[in-house]
Structure 1
Amino acid sequence: MYSVFLVEDEIVIRDGLKASFPWEQYGFAYVGDAADGEVALPLIRQTKPDVLITDIRMPFMDGISLSKMIKKELPNTRIIIISGFDDFSYAQEAISIGVDNYLLKPITKDKLGDVMNDAKSKLDKENERDKYLDQFKAESQEYEQFARVRLFNQLVSGTMSVSEVYEKSEELGLSLDTTHYNLVLLDFTPMTGMHTAPVYSKHMARLSEQLMQYLKCCPEYIVFHWNMDTYAIIVKGDESTIESNTTNLIENINRRCMVYDDEIHWYLAQSGVITRLSEFAKACQQANKRLSCRFINPDGHIFTEQDVESMRSFGEDSANTIDQRLVMLFLENAGESEIDDFLDNIVNQQTKSALSSSIFCKYFAMTMYMCVCDYLKKLGVDSDNVLDSSTRGNLEKVTSDSVLNVVSDMFRAAIAKRKDLVGNQSKSQLSAAINYVNEHYCDSSLSLNEVAKEINISPSYLSAMFSRENKTTFVEYITSKRMEHAKELLLNTKEKTSAVAEKVGYKDPHYFSYIFKKTYGISPKEFRAKGQGV
């Protein structure tokens, strides 16, 4: 039911309309009235009525002045003007500022009924349009959207000017207009040691859906699917709220993830508060460095700067030993961008001193080399075919200045090979996913989760891979398939629009028409008429 507010200075008319007109029968709740615009304004701001009925001529603040203010503050409120025959010039001005209708005195029940029916019809159409717009946004604005990922990468790499960031974020409907930020990285690396894409897990699918629904409802957070296993969440706020906003986010994630702690690996790190968009590159490096501690302590969850410092001092009494299990864990799960942070974390102060010794340098480099070779053997590949031919020579003449670069190059080659192998498998899985969508897109219940389950792959991994490889989101792909099929049916059959909608996967024919017009600029009916030369 909609709400209506009445402003009329003649008490007889005001009380008469309030008491005698059957507002509820016309779909309205009478939420208040006032004798003039000055008294009405604060009440209208409080009640936010769907319809405002106001006389033009009133003391203190007339209907025109009131209407102008309401149109500015509450643009969705429909306004109906009450006027006399001699107020025609006022009525013209009222119409020019955007009022919807006007009533000529004397006001009869039938005339008011017609006007209220018209107002309700307009509100119904607006609400239907808003409902479909919300549904469309919910379906199309996936967090893995290619354009969003690209924006985030440009933001943290510092390749865009601040003005370009604001412009691009506005295009994508993302508000970055605040004074303080924090960057939170949330990682779901499986840590299984398997060289395949993460398999489907009902627990992970449910957790991901719960987290995304929570983040959707909180305007202080913007989430990006940064890579296959990692989400980046920008926390927004001002000086007084940024810390609490960050704490609330981390506590909420922790509470939800702990429910699945036995089934899911999860890791989180924040950058710390920044006040400029230009500082995001540094913030991302800070958060990444903290997150890389997960390879040193895979049983942990939330990593801070204290963890980084602890890692640097850990094992200082045994500087001449390297925990090769941690190195293997890193090679199995990390990305190339994390190599420097990982090495920085495992090379503690004592080890740094030891690296000044040429003997320890060679031991350290050779130990890392053996780890890489063992890992490549697990992948089923020959290390000589992966590592550069100069690797052995570099190991022999390694120095304190070159040792970390040599190790970094070996790590980079091994991780690239693993990604290449997983990538080949992923392309096969993506092809299977596309084939499944092509066969089932007319099913209205088709979802990302269903397809992921069918090909036994993580939904978030599938969505990210879909966007990366196809430069379009999963939902956008399904929509394009449905719209192309709809065009064929509209041109080549006499099926009603409702039947066409059902055949291409839409239960609601009105929503189908909304999507069709948003896609092609004309309604299905107009498209059919144009195509048939009508």
Structure 2
Amino acid sequence: MYSVFLVEDEIVIRDGLKASFPWEQAGFAYVGDAADGEMALPLIRQTKPDVLITDIRMPFMDGIALSKMIRKELPDTRIIIISGFDDFSYAQEAINIGVDNYILKPITKDKLGDVMSEVKIKLDKENEKNNYLEQFKEESQEYEQFARVKFFNQLVNGTMSVLEVYERSEELGLSLDATHYNLVLLDFTPMTGVAAAPAYSKQMARLSEQLMQYLKCCPEYIVFHWSMDTYAIIVKGDESTIESHTSNLIENIKRRCMVYEDEINWYLAESGILTRFSEFAKGCQVANKRLSCRYMNPAGHIFTDDDIEAIKNSEDNAEASIDQRLVSLFLENAEESEIQGFLSNLISKQTKNALNSTMFCKYFAMTMYMCVCDYLRKLSIDPNEALEDDTRRAIENVNCQTVMELVEKMFEVAISKRKNLVGKQSKSQLAAAIKYVDEHYGDSNLSLNEVAKEVNISPSYLSAMFSRENKTTFVEYMTSRRMEHAKHMLLSTNEKAQVIAEKVGYKDPHYFSYIFKKTYGISPKEFRAKGQG
């Protein structure tokens, strides 16, 4: 039901229309009235009616002035002007500013009924269009979208100016208009030690869907699929709300993840409050360093600076020694961007002091070298071929100024080799996924989750990989296949659009027409006529 607001200075007409016309029966809820534009404006701003009916000639603020303001502030509100024969020049001016209709006095029930029926038809069509737009947005709103991930990486790397951040975020439909932000990293690293893409898990698929539905309903959160196992969530607010928005987010994530704690690993860390876009790069580093604690404490979940200090001061680190099991766990699961944070957390205060000794630097570098070699062998890779020829010589000549750079390079090699190996296997799965879409896009129930299950890979991993490798999302690819087949059928058969819609995977022929026009700029009927012509 649509809402309607009436502005009329003659009380007899106003009360008569309010009482005598069957508003609800016509599909409208009567939400208020006023005697002139000045009194009406604050009430209209409050009720935001779908339809405004206003007289032209009124004291204080007439219908023309009121209509101009409403057209500017509430562009979706339909405006109907009430006028007398003597006011026709005013009515012409009203039409020029974009009113939808006008009613000549005296107003009869039938005359008002006809006008309201026309307005309702317009509103229904507009509402249908908006519903299709929302459905399309919902279907195509994949958080792994290549453009979104690229934007986020540029944001946290500090490679965009403030103006560029605003322009790019507006292009992507991302609202970055808050005064305060927080960056939350949510990670689902399986910690299996297996060099392969994460297998399909019903629990993980269900959890991801629940989390995304929750985040999508909250305008204070913007989510990105940052890496294969990690989501980045930007929390928005002001000075008084940013902390509560962050705590609400963490509590909701915790509550949902705890349900699957026996089957799924989950880890979380936040950057702390940010007030400038230029602070995102530093904030991401802070959150990443905190999150890297998961390799030292895989049983933990939410990591802060207190965890970093606890690790550095733990009894296990009382001596200047390195737990090689933690290094292996890191190499098996980490991203290159996490290396510095991990090494910083790995080194206790005692170890840090010991690194002032050249002898200990050599021991440390050699220990890391052996860990990397062991891991490369697990991947069936010859360390002598993977690492640079002068690595052993560099270890012999290492000192406190060069040791960390050397270790970082060795770690980068190991992680890169693992990712290349996983990538080759994943590409095979991606090819199988694409083949499955090509064969089943006519199924209206086809979904990312179904395809992921078919090729035995995590839905979020498949979606991220799809976007990275093809520079398009899963939904965009599926839609393009459907539209290509629809074009072929429109030109080569006499099938009705409704039949074609069903054959290419759309239950609703109107939605099919909407998608077709959005894709090609013309309706299926126009495309067929143009092609035949």
Show the counterpart of 2:115.
115
Partner of 1:151: 151
Pairing 1:92–2:92 present:
yes
Partner of 1:7: 7
Deviations 1:55-77 (Å, cap 9, x if unpaired)? 11222322222222222222211
Question: What amino acid sits opposite 2:188 in the alignment?
Answer: F
**Distance in 2, Cα, partners of 1:165 & 1:307:** 33
Correspondence for 2:327: 327
2:320–2:348 Cα contact (<8 Å) kept: no
Structure 2 counterpart of 1:50: 50
Question: Which residue in 1 is equivalent to 2:449?
Answer: 449
Quick check: 1:221 aligned with 2:221?
yes
- The one-letter code of the counterpart of 2:499 is A
Q: Does 1:349 align with 2:378?
A: no
The SS at the match of 1:273 is strand
TM-score with structure 1 setting the length: 0.97
Opposite residue 204 of structure 1, the aligned amino acid is: M
Counterpart position of 1:248? 248
For 2:172, the equivalent position in structure 1 comes to 172
Quick check: 105-114 or 118-127, which moved more? Answer: 105-114
> What is the match of residue 473 of structure 1?
473
Amino acid at match of 2:212: M
CA distance in 1, matches of 2:33, 2:148: 47
Contact 1:319 1:354 in 2 (8 A): no
- Match in the other structure for 2:278: 278
- 1:278-320 deviation per Cα after TM superposition (whole angstroms, max 9, x unaligned): 1111111111111111111111111111222222223476324
Q: Give the SS at the match of 1:25.
A: coil
Partner of 1:75: 75
State yes or no: 1:33 paired with 2:55: no
Query: What is the letter of the counterpart of residue 183 of structure 2?
Result: L
Q: Extract structure 1 runs of 4+ deviating beyond 6 A.
A: none
* Paired position in structure 1 for 2:204: 204
1:71, 1:77 within 8 Å by CA — same for their partners in 2?
yes
Q: Could you tell me which amino acid in structure 2 is paired with residue 322 of structure 1?
A: I
Query: Unaligned 5+ residue runs, structure 1?
Result: none
Contact 1:316-1:350 within 8 A present in 2 as well: no
Mapping of 1:368-517 within 5 angstroms?
A: 368-517=368-517
- Structure 2 CA distance for aligned equivalents of residues 110 and 493 of structure 1: 47
Partner of 2:303: 303
Which stretch shows the higher mean deviation, 303-312 or 137-146? 303-312
SS of the equivalent of 2:261 reads coil
- Segments of structure 2 that go 5 or more residues without pairing to the other structure are none
Q: Is the 8 A contact 1:80 1:100 kept in 2?
A: yes
Provide the identity percentage: 79
- The offset of 1:205, in angstroms, is 0.8
Instruction: Tell me which moved more, 38-47 or 249-258.
Output: 38-47
Cα deviation code 1:12-71 (max 9, x no counterpart): 322322232222232122223333223333332333221121111222322222222222
- State the secondary structure of the residue aligned to 2:24: helix
CA deviation vs aligned residue, 1:309-362 (integer Å, no higher than 9, x gap):
222223476324321111110010011121111111111211122223333233
SS at match of 1:205: helix
Question: Shift of residue 486 of structure 1?
Answer: 0.7
- Structure 2 residue 531 is the aligned partner of structure 1 residue 519: no
1:312 aligned residue: 312
Q: How far, CA to CA, are the matches of 1:42 and 1:343 in structure 2?
A: 60
**Contact 1:185–1:268 (8 Å) recurs in 2:** yes
Q: Partner letter of residue 240 of structure 1?
A: S
- Per the normalisation by structure 2, the TM-score is 0.97
2:263 aligned partner: 263
Please say if residues 316 and 348 of structure 1, whose CA atoms lie closer than 8 Å, have aligned partners that are also in contact: no
Distance in 1 of aligned mates of 2:153 and 2:256: 27
CA distance in 1, matches of 2:316, 2:203: 39
